[in-house]
Structure 1
Amino acid sequence: MADMTDVKPTGSLAGMPDQTTDKPPVFFVARRTIETPILLALILIAISVLTFMFGTRPFNQSMIDLLVQVILAVGLYTFIGNSGVLSFGHIGFTCLGAYAAAWLTINPIMKSTLLPGLPTWLADANLPYWQAAFVAALFAAAVALVFGKILMRLSGIAASIATFAILAMVHTIYSNWDSVTGGTSSVVGIPIVRTLWPYLIAAILSIFISWAYAISRSGLALRAARDEATAAEASGVDIPRQRLVAFTVSAAIMGLGGAMMAHSVGVVTPDTFYLGLTFTSLSMLVVGGMYSLSGAVIGVVLLSLLIQILRFFEAGVMIGGTKFALYNGLQEIALGVIMIAILAFRPSGLLRNRELSVTRNRVD
């Protein structure tokens, strides 16, 4: 059975690359930690194969939703887990990615009617969904890079409030820019991708991108600053710069998740990418463990399974000729109770900020 090793550095600057050497110990760290993303990928592959073989069409859609949520949780972890700064604004980048995918893939004739304010080059664009997803990720990363240059100088609660301001700003702009985003109306006509495998590939890709960043020189330095900011600064770590790198990489992953979400349902609206999705994604990350890549993925899998069970019972179960059904809304209440219980008894998450591993080597 897989063991779980601690992801959080120990000591003042544990896990930070040696500033006296020409190269960071990336290959050494990669060799010791590569099993974590591989194990997580195998878990998602196993669940996807079982869904493909035995699942119904509604269950197939539920699995697609799970894989999309994995991308979002991994994107949140990439910034929150490495920087220690709680972000309430990352779903804004998901919104950017979703609308970018819509602009690039909807039939140009339909766009001329629904979104007359689009520039000509964008109105005429008609890319395959995978190309649009790549562009959407780059677009979200570019926006994060611009805003992050200012916001990443903040720390603590000030930084968290500032990230929420990004979410509110994106939501307000996209809800009122009728000619470009359709305003509060739903933008339809996005090509729907029904097959499971593109979402699986995107989820696995996001896991490996997040892992690659975490073992990079920037990721190691940022985690050192997360645990011992004063010592890290004294060692020459430019904390705002390292946070900006994490902010940009995580925004790209969130943009990818937004694009895949748009193609999973074929419709986007600004309200989809606001408080509800923000707190659902954060809760999944907290349940698994905010400082753990494995926690991000396992938290999504466990909570998604719980949500499906509650939906099943809310729809009603026949027992002895009598239909028993849970009250509507119990799903949200149950999730809230679970969140409170975990924060009370396991504030570091179910995995206690540890990584899945088949060895007992420490990550950092």
Structure 2
Amino acid sequence: MGVAASLTNSTAAGAPAAERKPARFALARRTILTPVLLSLLLLAIALITVMTGSRPFNQTVIDVFVRVILVVGLYIFIGNSGVLSFGHIGFTCLGAYAAAWLTINPMMKRGSLPGLPEWLLATRLPYWQSATLAALFAALAALIFGRVLMRLSGIAASIATFAMLAMINTIYSNWESVTGATSSVVGIPIVRVIWPYLIGAVVAIFIAWAHAISRSGLALRAARDEPTAAAASGIDIPRERLVAFVISGAVMGLGGALMAHSIGVVTPDTFYLGLTFITLSMLVVGGMGSLSGGVVGVVLLSALIQALRWLEAGVSLGESTFALPKGVQEIALGVIMIVILALRPSGLMGNREITLPRSSRNK
């Protein structure tokens, strides 16, 4: 009831705007440390990566930053609404293909994707422009789907989002002249510099924070915690869910575009069940109730995945080589998830955010 009460008290119908603004500024001041500290954590990882000068490690950290964007995008909707979505990777797919259409050499597009409109065949933009437009494209798709899906609740909404994912995957797997169907779309300019991915992750974190402290975000969390009380106080629950759905769709589209530029090739199955499972796992393990939980879940599980891959590839121990059997990575991830959730059902962070101790803030 805490969120609902605070929302009602701070935004009551008769409250003057002059009283509401200081309350929102106070909330922003109290919570701004969370996105700042999370951003500094990612910056530290980026600086360490640059100092090592290792290209494989550089690519690994780029993958981590892309996952941060995707998991934060999931948090914006799932964490604030309490509605589990299995379909958000569909927006990642839309963003990735939009980036491909906008950045591949026009001559290559005419040969491999002849069904694209003439203006799109002739277009070639820098990666940062394509990523921005990809986010807007995904947001538009989220608005279209969301106007129907956000009227559902509970398991019905979750199943409907999975149906949306399956629909997008089926269309993109069969629309050969526009998406290449199941064939790989190649020729996407690869961006190996780490900073654009860091910027994308930081932007996603601050978008999530800004939404969480906004009137819409507070209303959505009130509806998550006490739906009956929230509806009785005048909160339009489907509308607030739609706002979060569109914002999260845009962030997922941004992540898809940057993912496409990190690997240089896309297929529909790249953005399907496997990526859905791993991103949801990171959010749940970290704690879907907090922004910090999403970022922590990505960093920890990504480190674990990389360590298991390293062990599967084989480690030289003197004259012998130790290697885990193939498939151990998936089994180990499943076991670790079960153990963590058995011990901490709300995830590692629960509903808590990373911040400074109160004594440090008061100095």
Indicate the TM-score class for this superposition, using the shorter chain for normalisation: over 0.9
Contact 1:13 1:232 in 2 (8 A): no
Q: 2:227 maps to which residue?
A: 229
Fraction of identical pairs, as percent: 71
The residue identity in structure 2 corresponding to 1:259 is: A
Shift of 1:343: 1.8
Q: 1:263-311 CA distances to partner (integer Å, 9 max, x unpaired)?
A: 0010000000000000100000001000110000010000001111111
Pairing 1:138–2:118 present: no
Contact 2:3 2:218 in 1 (8 A): no
- Return the alpha-carbon distance in structure 1 between the equivalents of residues 325 and 351 of structure 2: 34
Q: Choose between structure 1 and 2 for higher RCO, CA contacts under 8 A separated by at least 6 residues.
A: 1
Matches within 5 A, 1:126-165: 126-165=124-163
The residue identity in structure 2 corresponding to 1:37 is: P
- Return the alpha-carbon distance in structure 2 between the equivalents of residues 147 and 82 of structure 1: 19
Q: 2:63 maps to which residue?
A: 65
Q: 1:354 maps to which residue?
A: 352
Pairing 1:118–2:116 present: yes
After the TM superposition, which of the residue ranges 99-108 and 319-328 deviates more from structure 2?
A: 319-328
SS of corresponding position for 1:144: helix
Q: 1:34 maps to which residue?
A: 32
Q: 2:11 aligns with which of 18, 24, 30?
A: 18
Shift of 1:314: 1.0
Contact 2:3 2:222 in 1 (8 A): no
Shift of 1:33: 0.3
Q: 1:4 maps to which residue?
A: none
Contact 1:93 1:251 in 2 (8 A): yes
Shift of 1:14: 3.8
- Return the alpha-carbon distance in structure 2 between the equivalents of residues 156 and 214 of structure 1: 21
Shift of 1:147: 1.1
- Return the alpha-carbon distance in structure 2 between the equivalents of residues 347 and 192 of structure 1: 39
Q: 1:219 maps to which residue?
A: 217
Contact 1:40 1:297 in 2 (8 A): yes
Shift of 1:214: 0.6
TM-score by length of 2: 0.95
Shift of 1:320: 2.6
Q: 2:170 maps to which residue?
A: 172
After the TM superposition, which of the residue ranges 48-57 and 238-247 deviates more from structure 2?
A: 48-57
- Return the alpha-carbon distance in structure 1 between the equivalents of residues 316 and 258 of structure 2: 36
- Return the alpha-carbon distance in structure 2 between the equivalents of residues 227 and 205 of structure 1: 27
Q: 1:270 maps to which residue?
A: 268
- Return the alpha-carbon distance in structure 1 between the equivalents of residues 24 and 99 of structure 2: 34
Matches within 5 A, 1:191-270: 191-270=189-268
CA RMSD of superposed structures (Å): 1.3
Contact 1:13 1:228 in 2 (8 A): no
- Return the alpha-carbon distance in structure 2 between the equivalents of residues 13 and 107 of structure 1: 55
Shift of 1:360: 4.0
Unpaired segments of 5 or more residues in structure 1? Answer: 1-8
Matches within 5 A, 1:279-290: 279-290=277-288
The residue identity in structure 1 corresponding to 2:124 is: N
CA spacing shift, 1:360–1:18, aligned 2, 3 Å: farther
Contact 2:4 2:219 in 1 (8 A): no
After the TM superposition, which of the residue ranges 26-35 and 238-247 deviates more from structure 2?
A: 26-35
Contact 2:93 2:271 in 1 (8 A): yes
After the TM superposition, which of the residue ranges 132-141 and 341-350 deviates more from structure 2?
A: 341-350
Pairing 1:327–2:325 present: yes
CA spacing shift, 1:359–1:214, aligned 2, 3 Å: same
CA spacing shift, 1:349–1:134, aligned 2, 3 Å: same
TM-score by length of 1: 0.95
SS of corresponding position for 2:185: coil
The residue identity in structure 1 corresponding to 2:176 is: D
The residue identity in structure 2 corresponding to 1:110 is: M
Structure that is richer in helix per residue:
2
- Return the alpha-carbon distance in structure 1 between the equivalents of residues 27 and 242 of structure 2: 22
SS of corresponding position for 1:323: strand
CA spacing shift, 1:80–1:11, aligned 2, 3 Å: closer
- Return the alpha-carbon distance in structure 1 between the equivalents of residues 178 and 63 of structure 2: 27
SS of corresponding position for 1:13: helix
Contact 2:286 2:296 in 1 (8 A): yes
After the TM superposition, which of the residue ranges 239-248 and 9-18 deviates more from structure 2?
A: 9-18
The number of residues matched between the two structures is 353
